[in-house]
Chain A
Amino acid sequence: MAKRRTNPDYLNGVPELLVLRLLEQRPMYGYELVQEIVRSTGERLEFGEGCIYPLLHRLESEGTLTAKRQQVGGRERVVYRVTRKGKGKLAEAAAQWMRVAEAVTLVLHGGNNEQRQPAIA
């Protein structure tokens, strides 16, 4: 049975952020990373192979990740690691995400109280 895939617009940039964060914790290969995203998000988020592998390759071409084929559990797999540049990009993306998330949460919970003052009494 084919897995249902949805990529809503508000998730733009999220796969990149999650991939960099998880690979910063420890180097992983593709399958391991896909499973780890599901596990660490409490099964709330899942990104397909068609999204993850091109993303990993793009991040590698940008210099934020390195890829090296090595032995893992008796098999050869391509293991990805974050570079120093990747750590910098992660910090920037994480800070931006926190700002956006904070702002959206504020609005969803009723907005800034000052804005609720009527213009005319």
Chain B
Amino acid sequence: MSSVNLQSLEDLRGTLIRRGIPPRYVHRVTTELREHAEDLSENDESDDASLGEFSALADEITHTYQARTFAGRHPWFVFGILSLPFTIITYVAWLFVSVVTATFEIQPLLKGHDFAKAFVMIVTQVSVTVVPSILCTWAICRVARRAGLHWKRVMLACVPVMLMALHLVSGIHFEPTAEMHGSIHFGLCLPWIGNYVNLFGWQQPVQAAIPVLILVGMMARESRRSLELEHFQSQCAV
């Protein structure tokens, strides 16, 4: 196969990755295109046998890949508008499930075990502040990557998650009585409500950092996978 076509495929590969197409799919399609170009060279006697301009190929491949899913066809609607209600619903649902489970399922089993009850309350508090942001970020990343969208869109879609995590305040209060009653509360610290700054503690930046860490982790994992596939492909082309 001509060196021009090999370079074109390399350029195509880079273009598709930059546009957000998942590396695994890019590897598959460029492998098949390389084989197609080999067949073209072998069977087409004309000097013009080639895959055509790689930019046109990249456009067609990107468009067709993104058209597979609703999110790919309507990215602004899904990631620009739906991400906020999705985040709110996830937080509310997890809060409801956690509190109901802790209060009505677990606590009755721990009657008389005050420290265990206190531990369950602490776990509930931590889970409500951490788990929904992990779930939302993971779900947004997964849907966006399957739709073949660039990481910029994913980051934009994760902004409501970070804001929600940043403004979520929670606390546990234990009454210093023999029966060790306690209460757990959750709320949103909004700028137009008083004591906005005072309600912020060290927990808020940590909560907001979680979706950022998930996002960075997933980007790093994909980048590593892309390098592995690139190395594998270069070995096949030799």
- What residues of chain A have their CB less than 8 Å away from a CB belonging to chain B? 1-3, 5, 29-31, 34, 48-51, 53-55, 57-58, 61, 75, 77-78
Contact = CB atoms under 8 A, between A and B. Distances in A.
Contacts of B39: 31
B64 A1 contact: no
A1 B43 CA distance: 17
Contact of B29 (A3, A31, A57): A57
B98 to A, nearest CB: 36
Contacts of A50: 52, 56-61, 64
B175 to A, nearest CB: 57
B53 A53 contact: no
Nearest to B21: A54
B1 to A, nearest CB: 12
Interface in B20-59: 25, 28-29, 32-33, 35-36, 38-40, 43, 48, 51-53, 56-59
A54 B61 contact: yes
Given A30-B32, A31-B35, 18 more contacts: A5-B56, A29-B35, A31-B36, A31-B39, A31-B40, A34-B36, A48-B52, A50-B61, A50-B64, A51-B64, A53-B32, A53-B33, A53-B61, A54-B29, A54-B65, A57-B65, A58-B68, A77-B35
B60 A48 contact: yes
A80 to B, nearest CB: 10
11 contacts: A29-B35, A30-B32, A48-B52, A50-B52, A50-B61, A50-B64, A51-B60, A53-B32, A53-B33, A58-B64, A78-B35
B64 A49 contact: no
B48 A1 contact: yes
Contacts of B48: 1
Contacts of A1: 48
Contacts of B40: 31
A73 to B, nearest CB: 9
A49 B35 contact: no
Contacts of A34: 36
Contacts of B36: 30-31, 34, 49, 53
Contacts of B38: 75
Given A49-B57, A77-B35, A78-B32, A54 B52 contact: no
Given A1-B48, A50-B61, A57 B53 contact: no
Nearest to A55: B64
Contacts of A78: 32, 35
A57 B52 contact: no
A10 B128 CA distance: 52
Contacts of B28: 57
B42 to A, nearest CB: 9
